[in-house]
Amino acid sequence: GESVGLHLPTLSVQEGDNSIINCAYSNSASDYFIWYKQESGKGPQFIIDIRSNMDKRQGQRVTVLLNKTVKHLSLQIAATQPGDSAVYFCAENAGNMLTFGGGTRLMVKP
């Protein structure tokens, strides 16, 4: 079946640097995408979303880019902080449910 996946399972960055987390999706019918952050022992926390009619959306220190041609989604975190350390999931919505990828662990080095 079609699924959402992530390129890298672990990303290690220096505090203050920018982070880029990538995601590939395969369901061309997906019209809505969300990035979630999940800390250990907690539920996923909504970060930012984007609809398929957009290429880019910015939030506070985060930017999501959507490339529908190659079915690629990325999350950019500016000036990464220790509090950003977590597992990040992208999710796609092609109906009434979210399909999640396997997650990328972001580790921030002081």
Partner 1 sequence: DTGVSQDPRHKITKRGQNVTFRCDPISEHNRLYWYRQTLGQGPEFLTYFQNEAQLEKSRLLSDRFSAERPKGSFSTLEIQRTEQGDSAMYLCASSRQGLEQYFGPGTRLTVT
From 16, 59, 82, 102, residue interacting with partner 1 (rule: CB under 8 A) = 102
Cα separation, 74 vs 22, whole angstroms: 4
**For residues 24 and 90, is the Cβ–Cβ distance under 8 A?**
no
Output the CA angle 81-54-100, nearest 5 degrees: 60
Q: Which x/- pattern, by CB under 8 A, does the window 19-38 give for partner 1?
A: ---------------x-x--
From 11, 21, 66, 101, residue interacting with partner 1 (rule: CB under 8 A) = 101
User: Smaller CB distance to partner 1: residue 17 or 46?
Assistant: 46
Cα separation, 57 vs 75, whole angstroms: 10
From 77, 89, 106, 108, residue interacting with partner 1 (rule: CB under 8 A) = 89
41-60 binders of partner 1 (CB under 8 A) = 41-46, 49
User: Smaller CB distance to partner 1: residue 11 or 91?
Assistant: 91
Beta bridge partners of 74: 22, 65
Cα separation, 81 vs 25, whole angstroms: 27
Enumerate binding residues for partner 1 (CB under 8 A). Answer: 4, 34, 36, 41-46, 49, 89, 91, 95-103
